[in-house]
């Protein structure tokens, strides 16, 4: 006996289109608006100004002169290849996709870390999302949102969510139980423990999840170009379709530059948690010293 799983799935897609068509239209409008606004800002500003901001961000987050110099030279290379608008359009798509993925993935990871039942339910779903070929995501996305940028972003969000959930849950679950027991013994509420103990200590793991989400989003750039997402993915797809090796290679180089930059910057940002904790500790020590001068002297 043959199980027509594909037919069931197609029936479910048709039912969702018939009953939630207005919702998908609203989502498409919102995503187009957000990506358009971000892209307009990035493309509207002078390339040298954007490059200066990106280089300053790399210097502040990584404190690496080499990466800062690389960022300037690499983005100037993109400008010289005539791919700056496409690169900024791709960056806008990646940023919006990452924001949506993290807005879904991080809260879900926190919930899974605090609730074993949720964790058991979410784990096989995440396994399915990661094991599914990326092209499969494009099929329902095109049905829901049509051809263009939005289905590419929708497929990217679904593909990129799992690492945000997994690494957020892992970062919270691997914390030392003695710290949590000490916080509980001092009468701290569960919400306060989460905000002041668990999330700050899990910050490096959460940032590792952010890094992986960005990398997965960039890996979907070319795939999304197949459904008309444009940007650098469109350049690569056009080069393949027209057998234009030079243009396709230039588009691939630009994608690699964005990937290297975002990977190094987000990796450097993982140390922000330690910096923030040290600043908070010094602030609390100064406050304690101000309220009790005798203790500060002793």
Asked if the structure places residue 71 within a domain, the reply is no
Domain that holds residue 255: 15-44+81-267
**Domains: count for the chain:** 1
Distances in Å between the Cα of 148 and the Cα atoms of 28, 138, 144, 228 are 10, 11, 11, 4
Distance from C-alpha of 167 to C-alpha of 113, rounded to nearest angstrom: 10
CATH code where residue 26 lies: 1.10.3720.10
Distance from C-alpha of 44 to C-alpha of 100, rounded to nearest angstrom: 24
Asked if the structure places residue 72 within a domain, the reply is no
Distance from C-alpha of 11 to C-alpha of 156, rounded to nearest angstrom: 23
Residue pair 181/131 in contact (Cβ under 8 Å)? The answer is no
Distances in Å between the Cα of 60 and the Cα atoms of 56, 217, 238, 260, 273 are 6, 24, 37, 17, 14
Of how many residues is the chain composed? 298
Residue pair 247/253 in contact (Cβ under 8 Å)? The answer is no
Asked if the structure places residue 197 within a domain, the reply is yes
> In this predicted model, what pLDDT tens digit does every residue of 135-153 receive, in sequence order?
777 777 887 887 778 888 8
Asked if the structure places residue 100 within a domain, the reply is yes
Asked if the structure places residue 132 within a domain, the reply is yes
Nearest CA to 93 out of 153, 135, 151 is that of 153
Percent of the chain past pLDDT 70, that is, above it, reads 88
Single pTM value for the model: 0.82
> In this predicted model, what pLDDT tens digit does every residue of 46-80 receive, in sequence order?
999 999 999 999 888 888 888 899 999 999 999 99
pLDDT of residue 47: 93
């Amino acid at each position: 006996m043959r199980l027509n799983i594909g037919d069931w799935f197609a029936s479910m897609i048709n039912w969702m289109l018939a009953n939630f068509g207005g919702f998908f239209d609203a989502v498409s409008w919102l995503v187009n608006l957000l990506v358009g606004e971000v892209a307009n800002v990035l493309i509207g500003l002078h390339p040298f100004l954007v490059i200066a901001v990106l280089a300053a961000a790399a210097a502040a987050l990584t404190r690496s002169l080499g990466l800062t110099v690389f960022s300037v030279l690499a983005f100037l290379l993109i400008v010289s290849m005539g791919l700056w608008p496409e690169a900024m359009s791709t960056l806008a798509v990646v940023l919006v996709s990452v924001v949506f993925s993290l807005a879904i993935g991080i809260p879900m990871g926190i919930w899974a870390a605090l609730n074993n039942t949720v964790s058991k339910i979410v784990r096989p779903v995440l396994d399915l999302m990661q094991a599914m070929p990326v092209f499969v995501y494009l099929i329902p996305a095109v049905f829901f949102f049509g051809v263009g940028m939005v289905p590419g972003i929708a497929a990217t969000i679904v593909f990129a969510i799992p690492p945000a959930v997994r690494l957020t849950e892992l970062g919270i679950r691997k914390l030392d139980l003695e710290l949590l027991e000490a916080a509980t013994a001092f009468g701290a509420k569960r919400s306060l423990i989460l905000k002041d103990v668990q999330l700050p200590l899990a910050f490096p793991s959460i940032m590792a999840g952010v890094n992986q989400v960005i990398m997965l989003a960039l890996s979907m750039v070319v795939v999304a170009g197949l459904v008309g997402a444009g940007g650098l993915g469109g350049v690569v797809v056009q080069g393949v379709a027209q057998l234009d090796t030079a243009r396709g290679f230039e588009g691939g180089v630009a994608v690699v530059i964005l990937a290297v930059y975002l990977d190094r910057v987000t990796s450097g940002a993982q140390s922000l948690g330690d910096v923030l904790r040290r600043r908070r500790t010094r602030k609390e020590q100064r406050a304690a010293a101000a309220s009790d001068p005798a203790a500060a002297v002793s």
